[in-house]
Homo-oligomer: A and B are copies of this chain.
Amino acid sequence: MATVHMSTNGIDLSVVQETVKAMQQDPDFARCQFRVHNQWIDGDHSRTTIESFYAGKQENSHQTPFQLDADEPPMLAGRDEAPNPVEHLLNSLATCVTTSMVAHAAVRGIEIEELECDIEGDIDLRGFFGLENDVPKGFQNIRVTFQAKSDADSETLKSLAEFSPTYNTLLSGVDIDLRVQGPAQAGAGEQRPEA
């Protein structure tokens, strides 16, 4: 007998149901670790490789490793060869609120016909350059504006986007353990402490 895959918004609901069921039966199934590796190239230019992640109680490899570059525009001494790091941050937010709205709509039977969003974020570079201690180094505020074509009302769609992991990370902040290992610890790559 053929399996019927119910799909809404292009989301295969049987996959989502399987995943949710597995998490309900065993909370460890929900524990994920995402990872990136970055290699500095020159000046403002660096390259990130994304190959593996831990999810569903196992190590997983992407079907192909992904590569993302970052650079800066000329006024920040770059060559404008790729988005800059804070544009990458806004991209993370844009894609995350979008996917979250679409997926949570799907499991509720809400169809979305079209969806796009614009994001703007303000930064005062005096913070980054250390010119003013009371100016934040990061984004001062971010505005997300969706244009949605759906029968659902705007408040409902907004509440679904708010499940987004990036949105919640940015709203609440997160602990970051930042370490620098130098040449004095040669071979430190092998000795990297377990998290």
Contacts and interface: CB of A to CB of B under 8 A. Distances in A.
Interface string A22-52: 0110010011111111111011111010100
A195 interface: yes
Number of copies: 2
10 contacts: A10-B44, A44-B103, A48-B95, A56-B75, A70-B91, A118-B192, A138-B172, A141-B174, A141-B176, A144-B177
A155 B84 CA distance: 25
A116 to B, nearest CB: 5
A171 B183 CA distance: 28
A3 interface: no
Contacts of A43: 9-12, 102
Contacts of A12: 43, 77
A124 B32 contact: yes
Given A92-B86, A137-B168, A120 B9 contact: no
B63 A80 contact: yes
Contacts of A77: 11-13, 15-16, 19, 103
Interface residues of A, number: 136
Contacts of A27: 124, 126
Interface of A: 9-13, 15-16, 19-20, 23-24, 27, 30-40, 42-46, 48, 50, 53, 55-56, 60, 62-63, 66, 68, 70, 72-77, 80, 82-100, 102-104, 112, 114-131, 135-150, 153-155, 157-158, 161-184, 188-189, 192, 195
A148 B62 contact: no
Nearest to A99: B44
B87 A89 contact: no
B181 A116 contact: no
B182 A149 contact: yes
